[in-house]
Chains A and B, each alone.
Chain A
């Protein structure tokens, strides 16, 4: 699972900045059939959690209504320099994670 995360290179203390994440995933709805008529089991990323500065700053519960290769963005307030850790899991139990460095200066 490939993911891309984008955050500003540097943020000021207490600045509210935008975090963007895109994850490559089929987000299989569970409503589709194969060519031979068998149901394709649902497989979506159902949970995405983001931690930064010692606490969870964002959590999303996703479902069948989300298109493939989900893209999310959310605001976060800068506290201190340190890692921001993204973790997600899909219906098949496959986990993915990504870490970016947040640099607070100024």
Chain B
């Protein structure tokens, strides 16, 4: 099994303006979502008026660095966003925030930010193995009208230019990330959809099991790179 070596964050391939924006915690627009997430985190909601913080004292430092992971209770693969949605539904008794909603982006950015600088380390053996294999397969599968796999760009051609962009190794360690093109924070699954539309392939809904498996495979490829959320990208 191969992965780009040494692993390099997408930040390395970004231009100087983007790098400067990410480096400045005040100017980085992604921090606005982190700030909003912090407010939501401590807001008592639902019938039992529980806030996230009332159960998770340490704001889940390190959690984002080891997700996706298999949920022991259901045997399903879950990522940060689906974990948050599950806590909203089951522990707070409220309607879970929709994918890509401002609230879910804010909460996931806030939780991931607590792991900033910590190396990504996910479990790919045991019950996670079948999900990992599924992710690996879809990463290498040719798709879309352009008939390209993720690996064609992010394994075989990183460092080369594609139009105005330099292709990176395709790591997801900075997500949710602020993309200048989006003028907003967006999830990793939204980024997948951008790449899929680039090769004119069918797009799946956010949170789809295929995207979760792909996310696990990407996290393994990115092993030891630090979490960067909220990253800034072009």
Chain A residues proximal to chain B, CB less than 8 Å: 2-4, 6, 20, 22-24, 26-27, 67-69, 71
Contacts and interface: CB of A to CB of B under 8 A. Distances in A.
B33 A24 contact: yes
B94 interface: no
Given A2-B36, A4-B26, A6-B26, A22 B31 contact: yes
Nearest to B39: A2
A45 B136 CA distance: 45
Interface residues of B, number: 12
B107 to A, nearest CB: 13
B43 interface: no
B184 interface: yes
Interface in B120-179: none
9 contacts: A2-B36, A3-B32, A4-B26, A20-B27, A67-B180, A68-B183, A69-B29, A71-B27, A71-B29
Interface in B20-34: 26-27, 29, 31-33
B183 A67 contact: yes
A10 to B, nearest CB: 18
Interface string B25-53: 01101011101100100000000000000
A22 to B, nearest CB: 6
Given A20-B26, A22-B26, A22-B27, A4 B32 contact: yes
Query: A6, A23, A71: which has the most chain B beta carbons within 10 Å?
Result: A71
